[in-house]
Amino acid sequence: MGITKRTRGTSSQMSYPGEPAINKRQKKEIEKPELPFANSFKADRSSEKEVSSSLSAILADLSSPPPTDNTQAQNPDSDTSNTQALWLSRAKDWNGISENWKPMRVLGSGSYGIVGLFEYIGKGQDMPKHMVVKQAPPGIESEALRSESMKLTQLSAAGAEHVVKIYKSFHRAAGTGADKDWDPSPWVTQEDGSQLLDSEKMVGRIYLEYAEGGDLAHANIERDALGFPEEVEVWKLINHLAKGAKELERGNKTNHVSGRRPIIHFDLRPHNGELCKSVLHFAELTLSSLADFGMSSWLPRHPQNPNWIATVEWRGATAWLTPEQAYRNHPQRQFGPLTNIWSIGATVFGFLHRSHRLENELFVVGWKKKEFISQEADLFGVPHSALLEFTLLQCLAFRPRDRISADTLIERSQAVMDYVYGEDELTPELLDLVAKHKGPSQRYFGERRGEEGGSRSVDIYRPFVEGESSAKLDDVDIINIGKAEEKETIEANEA
């Protein structure tokens, strides 16, 4: 029985049944509103009154209907730009935000809702310069936003540093009627002229940190003028992504947080890795946080539960699905923290190659006497070292059990950075790997060891042919998985 790959449409509609339950203590902790910058208030009390006033306005409850204007509240013929502009103009009248927050522009909108950028124009020195407001319409989209809020609040409470900060957790609010789908007005006019609030039509909102430097996809746009980043910057990126993955696994960068479960992101890609400052040149490329947890899920106590698997196997963009998601016949179909590791490899590979997907081809990767099967990650044309290539192949291993752990990924990337900056030497194990590959990319490793160029080592990277290697897939008769879709189509036509 060969591996067959299914295809699906590109609809953004999502289903979120089967999320693991959490206990009452966790629920109480997760759902309480965030109070950002509490520690910084104590450091500078001169602006405390201004900051406190602004935060109080942000956290205000809905108490009355918004003022009306002469614009048609729900015009189905309004184009996207008009409805977005209307939403921004009406934001100043929200009950949950003060006049110190100025709506700037819409970052995106669709059936899932709308995302807007707000600028702080008040005098509070401890306030962020910008924040992001995510709004979802009533129904399943709001529940997805609530789920995202709960995960971000939990991670924040655990001390996570590489996940986007949440300033205000999920709350219901009255839409303004700028759009009939994602911003419906919940106010119903009665016969006597009074307005009645229909709570089922209220939208959901959360307030988040804004990444001033954009995302990795934005950094790719800058590359036309800048060329490829220095390899040490790529290792910095890997280091921060790995720390984020560790926080999803444990709650923070050090220890497991009691009572919490690992989180699987399911949508980690260049668009969802945010930069903390503008990418003026790649020497400043510093990842601040993982973002967009709308498709994430807690790992249940029984991850092999078929009902849960059915709810998560297609979460994420089609081109970025992990092997255990895309292939129902996968010999080790397990979801867990190592699922995030594959996504890290794909994210870095996509960032370097400007690629929107990996090729569906498997390779045997050999080091010493150990071999494992990995997805295609050829960095031809990209200046890189053997160690970077091998690390990405470890991240992209077909079986989760063959992937590198977040801890090892952090240690290795830190070791490389320390080596480049002359603070330490590479371990004998890593030097042994580097010695197998003498390419033009040895700017850090080769020059340090007196090596000057050479050719690619076939021992480190070769096509996987069934029968030639001990690293076999169980019950797999199609090795070039790119042919799986063609076979599936033929079988469907024959049926």
| Binding-site positions for ATP | 134
Distance CA 103, CA 207 (A): 13
User: How many CB atoms sit inside 10 A of residue 361's CB?
Assistant: 16
1 contact partners, CB below 8 Å, separation of at least 6: 329, 475, 477
Contact between 107 and 115 under an 8 Å Cβ cutoff? The reply is: yes
Distance CA 491, CA 249 (A): 40
Contact between 360 and 352 under an 8 Å Cβ cutoff? The reply is: no
Contact between 116 and 91 under an 8 Å Cβ cutoff? The reply is: yes
Burial of residue 206, with CB atoms counted within 10 A of its CB: 0-12 exposed, 13-18 middle, 19 or more buried = buried
User: How many CB atoms sit inside 10 A of residue 18's CB?
Assistant: 15
Q: Return the amino acid letter for 296.
A: S
DSSP 8-state class, residue 399: S
Q: Return the amino acid letter for 439.
A: G
Q: What is residue 345's three-state secondary structure?
A: helix
Annotated binding site: 134
Distance CA 146, CA 169 (A): 8
Distance CA 185, CA 206 (A): 18
Distance CA 210, CA 165 (A): 9
Q: Return the amino acid letter for 1.
A: M
Find, among 341, 346, 248, 257, the residue nearest to 298 by Cα.
248
Q: What is residue 200's three-state secondary structure?
A: helix
Distance CA 58, CA 26 (A): 24
Contact between 95 and 60 under an 8 Å Cβ cutoff? The reply is: yes
CA 19 to mean position of chain CA atoms: 18
